[in-house]
Structures are given as structure tokens and as C-alpha cells.
Structure 1
């Protein structure tokens, strides 16, 4: 990894390095956000299923 960094620094291409690091950070953040959204969706689905089960159990039909 340091060889790549040294090559970039020697050529003076810091803007590309900064852009690459920004893109990596943005991609990682988007991945984490999507993972959290998936977990929240699963929790909501479990809650709705339990609520439906509760309603079936305590239905007020004679």
C-alpha cells in the first residue's frame, strides 16, 4: 500500500488521491446505511407480524 501512496505522492497527484479516499469513504458510508436500513426493515416486519398475531389471538368476533 505504501508503494502506491509513494507513487502518487511522487507524481504530485494529490487531488486524485483525495478524490479516491473520498469515494471510498462515501461508498463505505452508503454500505453501512443500506445495511442499517435492511435491519430496520426486518425489525419492522417482525413487529407487524407480532401485531397481526396479537390481533388474531384477541379478535372480538363471537
Structure 2
């Protein structure tokens, strides 16, 4: 990565380097947010299933 950075700096193309770093960081944060959202969705689904099981058990529908 050092050679790429040196090449960009030598050509005076710092704006493109800054834009690339910003886009990389934003993409990483978006990926992290989606991963956490999926985990939260799984936890909520597990909670709803357990709640439905509890309701069935104490309403007399569960054997």
C-alpha cells in the first residue's frame, strides 16, 4: 500500500486518496451496521419464538 500512496502523493492526487479512504471507511461501517442489524434480528426472532412457546404452554395448547 505504501507504493500506491507514494504514487498518488507524487502526482498530487491527494483528493482521490482522501475520497478513497472516506469511501472505504464508510463501506466498512455500513457492513458492520448490517452485520449488527442481522444479529439483532436473530435475537428478536428468538425472543418472539420463546414468547409464543411460553404463551402456548400456559394457555393449555402445548402438550
- Stretches (4+) displaced over 6 A: none
Which sections of structure 2, spanning at least 5 residues, go unmatched? none
TM-score by length of 1: 0.95
2:28 alignment partner in structure 1:
28
With normalisation by structure 2, the TM-score equals 0.93
What is the CA distance between 1:23 and its match in structure 2? 0.2
CA positional deviation for 1:12: 0.4
CA distance in 2, matches of 1:5, 1:16: 11
Give me the CA root mean square deviation. Answer: 1.1
Deviation at 1:60, TM superposition (A): 5.6
1:56 maps to 56
Structure 1: stretches of 5+ with no match in the other structure:
none
